[in-house]
Amino acid sequence: MRYSGLRVITEGLFGNRGWRPAWRDPAPKAEYDAIIIGGGGHGLSTAYYLARNHGLTNVAVLEKGYLGSGNIGRNTTIVRANYFLPGNSEFYSHSLKLWEKLELELNYNVMHSQRGLINLFHSDGQRDAFARRGNAMINQGDDAILLDRDGVRDLLPYLDFDNTRFPIYGGLLHPRGGTARHDAVAWGYARAADKRGVDLIQNCEVTGIDVQNGRVTGVQTTRGAIRAKKVGIVVAGRSSQVAAMAGLRLPIESHILQAFVTEGLKPVIDHVISFGMGHFYISQSDKGGLVFGGDLDFYASYAARGNLPMVEHVMEAGMTLMPMIGRARVLRSWGGIMDMSPDGSPIIDKTPVDGLYIDCGWNYGGFKAVPASGWCMAHLMATGESHEVARRFRLNRFATGHLLDEEGTGSQHNLH
Amino acid sequence: MRLTCPHCGPRDRREFYYYGASEYLNRPGPEAAPDAWDSYLHLRDNPAGVTQDLWYHEQGCTAWLKVTRNTVTHEILAVEAVAGGTK
Ligand SMILES: Cc1cc2nc3c(=O)[nH]c(=O)nc-3n(C[C@H](O)[C@H](O)[C@H](O)COP(=O)(O)OP(=O)(O)OC[C@H]3O[C@@H](n4cnc5c(N)ncnc54)[C@H](O)[C@@H]3O)c2cc1C
Ligand SMILES: [Zn+2]
């Protein structure tokens, strides 16, 4: 069924009786050409591009819960291409281009909104760093505008410009940055993959990976054994556990990241804004809620909830930057489990086990990467070669010293 | 979250700096192969359950502590000083 405005009107006129489930609910087959473990954003987009770009349709996505129950449904939905290092820069640039055509591609409204992202800076040194980043973005073919204090004031008059402790010097504006509806991205890819013949199998936890003579032969699941010569591990915060099933030890530590949403308000914040002097960033959802967050709780964790010190810090930083939000009531807070790598950049690579591939290390920036990650992981699984824009996301780069340390904080998982 | 420092007693999480897995205590010797360094610096067991990691009582006695805790429940099971034995 194609979705369209006409369809919505027609269905409305006839009592909405014509809508059908957006995807099938198939039982697992005994064997597939390829299995994707994990039905989050990256797993679903990988399956979709395997079918779309490489004609591989005898594919299953195995999800232990329901589709979209992981980080894909827990993030703060920022989509941007403002990376600095070669390796990251071309990858996120490719992803943003895919985002810009995603709704047509999937025939699904993912509410991608390029409302502009503004990273504030508060000192001469920070301004210089952002100017360099902006230049790197422009060199990559993306967009960046360095705003001075008055330029920021024109766009964001409600910030506290009288703050003398953290004065606002300006901001780096990335006009094509913005947000999208996270669940819709999972649902859109799920529906489009299903339409091309991919089996989406929910409530199916992978409990073992079968390896014979160094080659993967299939997986064990709570719904029985399934054979496949190619298996992709795409499980974000659970990467270490699933990789361990094949005897692998990963450069990943799982950490908790929290986020918050207020009651719905009239439109007041038109952009995505990040504070440069504390852990705080914010946008307003189309429903009106202020969606905001900060940084990791900083200790390894698998609890999908955080602790109060980071809650307090985020609230303080928000009040410092924009005191006007002080009267908004926070409705909910939650946490997600982040697969932190030692340099803050991801991994899309083969593993030492033949036929077993891994896509992980998304830290807290994997939402914007969903299209390009699926594109490149599918390319790798179908052709056996890294895609050009993901060629530096190697599993062994830590051993060889080819780190992609965007923030320059060194090999400590929680500092990225 | 509170950690009971063996020197200072129960203290708020904010007084501590988190460093990472207690693996950092097993620094390879100068003769160790590159793989051993890769494993030491980057690779992690990353358990969902009981783990041991290093915390620094930065705003207290400045001791390094080895904490045994559960990463799923956030329960703290034991805290011992890295130097000078346990208490
Ligand atoms: C609070 C928060 C805010 C964030 N904000 C942003 C942001 O603004 N911008 C941005 O770009 N990124 C952001 N992120 C990061 C982003 O959400 C993640 O990097 C990304 O969603 C991870 O990839 P995924 O969607 O595939 O993960 P997930 O949705 O977590 O998918 C992994 C799936 O694997 C399944 N799984 C695990 N183990 C097994 C098993 N054994 N068998 C079968 N299935 C299994 C899980 O159930 C899960 O559904 C944020 C994350 C959080 C938590
Ligand atoms: Zn102490």
What is the ipTM score, two decimals? 0.94
CA of B35 to the centre of ligand 2 (A): 35
Q: Using the 8-state DSSP alphabet, how is residue A113 labeled?
A: B
Identify the weakest region by mean pLDDT among A139-143, A182-186, B82-86. Answer: B82-86
Does A346 contact ligand 1 (Cβ within 6 A)? no
Residues belonging to chain B with any Cβ–Cβ distance to chain A shorter than 8 Å: 1, 12-14, 18-21, 34-35, 38-39, 41-48, 51, 53, 55, 71-74
From the CB of A271, is ligand 1 less than 6 Å away? no
**What average pLDDT does the segment A39-60 reach?**
98
Kindly report, residue by residue over A196-238, the tens digit of the pLDDT.
Answer: 999 999 999 999 999 999 999 999 999 999 999 999 999 999 9
Residue A22 phi, psi dihedral angles, 5° rounding: -75, -20
The answer to whether A250 touches A243, Cβ cutoff 8 Å, is yes
- Residue A396 in this model has a pLDDT that exceeds 80: yes
pLDDT of residue A304: 85
The DSSP-derived string for A12-67 is: HHTTT-----SS--PPPPSEEEEEEE--SHHHHHHHHHHHHHH---SEEEE-SSST
Tokens of B24: 């950092």
Closest-CA residue of chain A to B1 = A307
pLDDT digits (tens, 9 = 90+) for B43-74: 999 999 999 999 999 999 999 999 999 999 99
Percent of chain B with pLDDT over 90: 92
Average pLDDT of chain A is 97
B35: DSSP letter: H
Distance of alpha carbon A89 from alpha carbon A137, whole angstroms:
7
- Each residue's pLDDT tens digit, A305-317: 899 999 999 999 9
SS3 content of chain A, % helix, strand, coil (to 5): 30, 25, 40
In Å, how far are A87, A147, A211, A350, A402 from A84, measured between CA atoms? 9, 18, 39, 25, 15
Q: Where are the beta strands (DSSP E) in A101-175?
A: 117-121, 145-148, 170-174
Span A5-78+182-251+343-415 CATH architecture = 3-Layer(bba) Sandwich (3.50)
Could you give the 3-state DSSP secondary structure of residue A90?
Answer: helix
Q: Find, among A361, A368, A364, A367, the residue nearest to A393 by Cα.
A: A361
Percent of chain A with pLDDT over 90: 99
Please give the distance of CA A367 from its chain centroid, rounded to a whole number.
2
Q: Are the C-beta atoms of A26 and A201 separated by less than 8 Å?
A: yes
Query: For the segment B5-50, what is each residue's pLDDT rounded down to a tens digit?
Result: 999 999 999 999 999 999 999 999 999 999 999 999 999 999 999 9
- Name residue A279's amino acid: H
Is the CB of A176 within 6 Å of ligand 1? no
Q: Domain A114-176+253-340, CATH 1.10.1240.10 — does that match?
A: no
Chain B neighbors of A399, CB-CB under 8 A: 34-35, 38, 42
Backbone angle region of A73, left / alpha / beta, with phi > 0 → left and psi within -120 to 50 → alpha: alpha
Domain boundaries, chain A: 5-78+182-251+343-415, 114-176+253-340
Worst-scoring range by mean pLDDT, A291-295, A338-342, A406-410? A406-410
Residue appearing with tokens 């064990």:
A220
Query: 């199998």: which residue's tokens?
Result: A201
- In whole angstroms, give the CA distance from residue A258 to residue A323: 21
pLDDT greater than 60 at residue B87: no
Cβ atoms of A217 and A208 closer than 8 Å = no
CB contact under 8 A, B21 and A307: no
Closest listed ligand to the CA of A310 = 1
Instruction: Kindly determine whether residue A399 and residue B46, on different chains, have CB atoms separated by under 8 Å.
Output: no
A26's CB contacts (< 8 A; 6+ apart) are A199, A200, A201
Q: Is the model's pLDDT at B85 over the cut of 90?
A: no
User: Which residue ranges form the domains of chain B, and what is each CATH number?
Assistant: 2-81 (3.30.2270.10)
With residue A257 as reference, give the H or E element that holds it: strand A253-264
Quick check: B38 and A398 CB within 8 A?
Answer: yes
CA–CA gap between residue A159 and residue A368 (Å, rounded): 26
Neighbours of A205 (CB within 10 A): 15
Please name which ligand lies nearest the alpha carbon of A223.
1
Query: Which residue in A238, A399, A414 is closest to B18 by CB distance?
Result: A414
CA Rg, chain B, in Å? 14
Nearest CA in chain A to B36: A399
Task: Tell me, in angstroms, the distance from the centre of ligand 1 to residue A353's CA.
Answer: 24
**Mean of pLDDT values over A132-136:** 97
Rounded Cα distance, A81 and B23, in Å: 35
Q: Tell me, what DSSP letter sits at residue A391?
A: T
* DSSP at A354: B
For atom 3 of ligand 1, the residue with the nearest CA is A75
